[in-house]
Structure 1
Amino acid sequence: MLAVTIYLPCLDDYKETFPDVESALTEPDGLLAFGGDLSPERIIKAYRSGIFPWFSEQDPILWWSPATRAVIEANQFSPSKSLRKHIRRNNLTVTLNQATEQVITLCASTRPIEETWITQEMINAYIELTKLGHCHSVEVWRNDTLIGGLYGIKLGQLFCGESMFSLESNASKVAFWYLCNHFAHVGGQLIDCQIMNPHLKKLGVSEVARSDFISLIKQLQSKPINTDFTPCTLELIEG
């Protein structure tokens, strides 16, 4: 068997800039660079460039911009009949930015260790982004118990989703529904889900080419939403 050598730019040589996303590898799809750090400045620069960090505990920091991107327009989410019934039958409370650090930690701890990319280094980085007002979460509660949620980075009218979790059936779907509903209501346009998977596909997420995604984020990241993303209890707004 022939060994394959991959040559990647090291971000230590780029300071807080990144290589052109079109230089990303095709195999593995989207791998762009390695190294650097997870400073708030670098992470925000990455998102603004259509790039995200994704690596395992034993890896160096790896940066990705895949050839296709999983996205959904905020006003295009259509909940299934079963999800609507679930909301009506269950006494759940959904909040915004009430427990972001807890959501980040649970997104990491509820996955098998071999499946999670949310290392302690990543947890610390996104908690710092939370303190700086860049990272936001949606929380689903049954009474005083957090049973589901998601978190991500907001850049203007773009929300870059990072991860979600469920401790009860449908909890992450509820969080996603409320995120789409609220984000659309305040003027948000697009939710970036990074890489397609079966769960996202069931939620109505589709894929766009990297070049189209880059064009979209250039348009949306500097456009403000109608209100601050301040902590609150969320209600569904129909119509």
Structure 2
Amino acid sequence: MESSKVFNITLSFTRRTAVLLLSLFFLCWHPGFIGSETLTLTTYYPAPYGGYVSILTTGRTLLARDTGTVGIGTNNPLNTVKLDINGNTRSTGQIQWGNSRGTLTTDQGGSMELGGTGTPYIDFSQNSWQDFSARIMLSQAGRLRVESDLEITRDLYVNGSIRGVCRRIPYSVGSTAFCPANHSVIGFQGDGVARVTGFLPRTWAAQQSQQGAGTVVILGEDWGGTMVCCRFN
């Protein structure tokens, strides 16, 4: 006949010891079905300081919310900017600045678009103290305006009218007509009124004295009309 012996072991712990043992148990216990770890930190001032080898955020991320700067690729970001990047940047979407009025995009083979409710323009400067040396601007009338000398080393094709180069100035018998400054007379057209008396008027190439060179109108029907003054160098 088998005989069995029963041993009863009674362990007595204080509340403090029990809390420490339970804490140690949960720290050492790792279930096999959990393949990742989640760490939630709620911090208050002073916030902790540390470094991360790799960090992933899945929600809204706030960096330098109140003060300070964010540096990428540098351990000494500038204090005058919020984001200081040392190296190249890449974006698959649009880059916007200035309350979304300025947009830089690379769609359609690469392009740059300037728009908004104001007047878009691009400034080119050759020094740091001048506002701009040359400016390309879109006027309110939808015209592209260049505020500087335009030098073209290849052919220029214009499908439309070239405006602002020539002006028509009226002239009449008994008076002297002048072209605007820096303009020259390239032709004239009479009013067709036949005149048999009078004198030969002279249209002047610029605002100058009557001793200067001008264009003599020979035919009587051309003594009154308009002359074409153009600005060519």
Q: TM-score, normalised by structure 2?
A: 0.21
Task: Mark the structure with the bigger radius of gyration.
Answer: 2
Q: TM-score, normalised by structure 1?
A: 0.20
